[in-house]
Structure 1
Amino acid sequence: MKRKFRIVFFVSIICFVFLYSTVLKSVFTEKLAATLPDGSKDTNGKNENKPKVKNEILFLLLGVDAEDVKESKGKRTDTMMLTKVNFDTGDVSILSIPRDTRVMIDGKPDKINHAHVYGGVESTMDTVRDFLGIDLDYYVKIDYNIVKEVVDAIGGVRVDVPFDMKYKEYDPSVPPLNIDIKKGEQQLLDGKNAHDFLRFRNNNAMTVGYKDGDIGRIKAQQYFMKELIKQTLKTKNLLKLPKLVETYFSNVETNISLGTALKAASSVKKINVDNIKTDTIPGDGEYIKNVSYWIYDREKMDLLVNEMFGDYID
């Protein structure tokens, strides 16, 4: 198993941080400017594009295959999720894009997670716009350290583990990976085990794992995200907000302004975890010249994108 994982809980982090963001506005103003990729100062949204839908935001969540988001140039994206949040209703829609999806990048067929290697966020955003035919302005890029820190900060996350997850990485060229999580319902996972839960796909012998491979893992991670949001929004965890502020700004790069982010504060209490819509680009796995790809179904995908993000179709 490659050293990969999906980071699927950005929405919960945003909810957790922005619930009391008006109190911390002075801190956010100073620190959010440092996360803007071009070094420009935040303007509380004054210079932003006018949103296509009032009090709503569409952004691309990117989880990079790196320990430090600030040192992620040339790295692949291991997570790609198109996310929509409506501040009035609290509705959240998330469409997962498998990292092996075969798309056109600079006129050549390739895996979509390679776009960031070739041209960073700009290339990735252009690729997704062309691929899905949508109007997309915003992104959030995070590294995997945020997984451990956030989960530990709220005292762990309870999830159902479908089978024994055991895997050891023997490649000396990468940091050690030793996954050992027992099967069981409502297990309390700490930061490390939550991180390992998200990364696990199969054991070393290939005898235990998700039957549909990476797609099965995406489904498990979407389930994890909902559980994390549900547990994060508990009053006892909201009181831990100050501890998460540093974690957020240390592991996130975004072009979403402070002004837009602050609008999210009013929607947090409206979010109903059971109503969060999640889906994945439809298609099938296929090998082309001994390379594994996710071959999307154009007709089904277009219908899904129209259903979830119809207001943003070009």
Structure 2
Amino acid sequence: MKKVLLWILDIAVTLVVIDGGIAAFALHNTTSKIHSMDSTLNKASDTKTKSGKSVAYLLLGTDTGALGRDYKGRTDTMMVMVVNPTSKTTTMISIERDTKIQIDGVDAKLNAAYAYGNAEAAVNAVDKLLNIKLDGYLLVNMKGMEQLVDAVGGVTVKSPLTFSYEGYSFTENQDVTMNGTEALAFSRMRYDDPRGDYGRQIRQQLVIEAVMNKLKADPKSALNNDFLDAVSDNVRSNISLTSMRNLATKYRDAGATINRDQMTGTGVMIDGVSYQEMSQDEITRVHNEIGNAGK
């Protein structure tokens, strides 16, 4: 799930600014709701976005139902997104959820940082792992992708492999137009993919990119009620409204080129628990890629 939410809100805010307040009330309600998890918003990106500098956000996708649930789940999707208006690029790097880290001196998986703490704890864990400083987060209920895809009228992607899942079939190198339910199935399958979770990451990126492309082709679709409802019900963020407005007005060309990558490790078993262990070379590579993407 890529920076789809960021683009959703950026495009919507841009239209409000350009069209003199159209749907302003609905947009206000949407942005108020996505900030409801944070009593204090992270203003780290305000100065950067005001001056048009590149920013790096963490996209977190939870593995269960609505964000208002009692059981909050784990962040099975974790992507660093670097948005650079100068180079007109957006770089998405999927971070393996099973990456071995330390939480309070005990081995743990990276996706446990959110489950044991909160979204900010997940940001801090990624910051520490990669020796970077993220500018904020977007937390997305992965089930919400179904609603987001439907809200833009479906998406078309090219499947990277042939497989069947939850009653749907996909063929390698063939384009398929999918509704929300089918897109969710396409992006969820893991065990029948030869690359496991790494393969699933690629398919999630493809779906999110397809949603973003639909929004770029028809920006006003971000102002329909279904779309705004999907965002408000399934997205939470600590990125301030000031930053969102700056992103909307100054970063619209950053999606001209989308670069996709993954952080890859080696499977290990420790005390009966499977992890992905990242080499220092791989950590350094991803650290450098994030830095270079921001230049």
Q: Structure 2-normalised TM-score?
A: 0.84
Asked if the contact 2:152/2:221 (under 8 Å) is kept, the reply is no
Q: 1:106 to 1:51 in 2, by over 3 A?
A: farther
Asked if the contact 1:32/1:257 (under 8 Å) is kept, the reply is no
**Letter aligned with residue 176 of structure 2:** Q
CA distance in structure 1 between the aligned counterparts of 2:235 and 2:249, rounded to whole angstroms:
22
1:251 aligns with 2:234: yes
Bigger mean CA offset, 192-201 vs 118-127: 118-127
Q: CA deviation at 1:304?
A: 2.5
1:263 aligns with 2:246: yes
Q: 1:141 aligns with which of 139, 142, 145?
A: 139
**Letter aligned with residue 111 of structure 1:** K
1:280 aligns with 2:280: no
Q: 1:218 aligns with which of 193, 201, 212?
A: 201
**Letter aligned with residue 119 of structure 2:** V
Q: CA deviation at 1:14?
A: 3.8
Equivalent in the alignment of 1:107: 105
CA distance in structure 1 between the aligned counterparts of 2:160 and 2:87, rounded to whole angstroms:
33
Q: CA deviation at 1:11?
A: 4.4
Asked if the contact 2:100/2:278 (under 8 Å) is kept, the reply is yes
Q: 1:129 to 1:72 in 2, by over 3 A?
A: farther
Equivalent in the alignment of 1:191: 180
Q: CA deviation at 1:125?
A: 2.0
Equivalent in the alignment of 2:78: 80
CA distance in structure 1 between the aligned counterparts of 2:245 and 2:70, rounded to whole angstroms:
27
Equivalent runs, 1:136-215 vs 2, <5 Å: 136-167=134-165, 178-183=166-171, 185-202=174-191, 209-215=192-198
Equivalent in the alignment of 2:291: 309
**Letter aligned with residue 183 of structure 1:** T
How far does the alpha carbon of each residue in 1:249-303 deviate from its partner, in whole angstroms, 9 at most, with x for none?
Answer: 1211111111110122235641445x21221113222233332211112123213
How far does the alpha carbon of each residue in 1:184-229 deviate from its partner, in whole angstroms, 9 at most, with x for none?
Answer: 6111101000010000123xxxxxx322211122123223333332
Equivalent in the alignment of 2:15: 20
Equivalent in the alignment of 1:205: none
Supply the RMSD in Å over aligned alpha carbons: 2.8
- Structure 1 portions without partners, runs of 5+: 1-6, 168-177, 203-208
CA distance in structure 2 between the aligned counterparts of 1:163 and 1:276, rounded to whole angstroms:
21
Taking every aligned residue pair, what percent have the same amino acid on both sides? 26
CA distance in structure 2 between the aligned counterparts of 1:210 and 1:114, rounded to whole angstroms:
23
Q: 1:276 to 1:267 in 2, by over 3 A?
A: farther
SS in 2 for 1:276: strand
How far does the alpha carbon of each residue in 1:50-106 deviate from its partner, in whole angstroms, 9 at most, with x for none?
Answer: 545742322111111221123366421111111121345542111211111111122
How far does the alpha carbon of each residue in 1:236-259 deviate from its partner, in whole angstroms, 9 at most, with x for none?
Answer: x63452231222112111111111
Q: 2:272 aligns with which of 290, 296, 300?
A: 290
Equivalent runs, 1:6-155 vs 2, <5 Å: 7-8=1-2, 9-22=4-17, 23=21, 24-37=23-36, 40=39, 51=47, 54-55=51-52, 56-71=54-69, 74-155=72-153
**Letter aligned with residue 59 of structure 1:** Y
**Letter aligned with residue 125 of structure 1:** V
Q: 1:50 to 1:257 in 2, by over 3 A?
A: closer
SS in 1 for 2:205: helix
CA distance in structure 1 between the aligned counterparts of 2:122 and 2:242, rounded to whole angstroms:
25
Q: 1:95 to 1:130 in 2, by over 3 A?
A: same
Q: 1:282 to 1:51 in 2, by over 3 A?
A: farther
CA distance in structure 2 between the aligned counterparts of 1:18 and 1:220, rounded to whole angstroms:
28
CA distance in structure 2 between the aligned counterparts of 1:39 and 1:139, rounded to whole angstroms:
11
CA distance in structure 2 between the aligned counterparts of 1:304 and 1:113, rounded to whole angstroms:
18
- Structure 2 portions without partners, runs of 5+: none
CA distance in structure 1 between the aligned counterparts of 2:106 and 2:194, rounded to whole angstroms:
31
Q: 1:38 to 1:155 in 2, by over 3 A?
A: closer
Q: Structure 1-normalised TM-score?
A: 0.79
CA distance in structure 2 between the aligned counterparts of 1:179 and 1:94, rounded to whole angstroms:
30
Asked if the contact 1:78/1:99 (under 8 Å) is kept, the reply is yes
**Letter aligned with residue 106 of structure 2:** K
CA distance in structure 2 between the aligned counterparts of 1:41 and 1:118, rounded to whole angstroms:
20
Aligned length: 285
Q: 1:240 to 1:80 in 2, by over 3 A?
A: closer
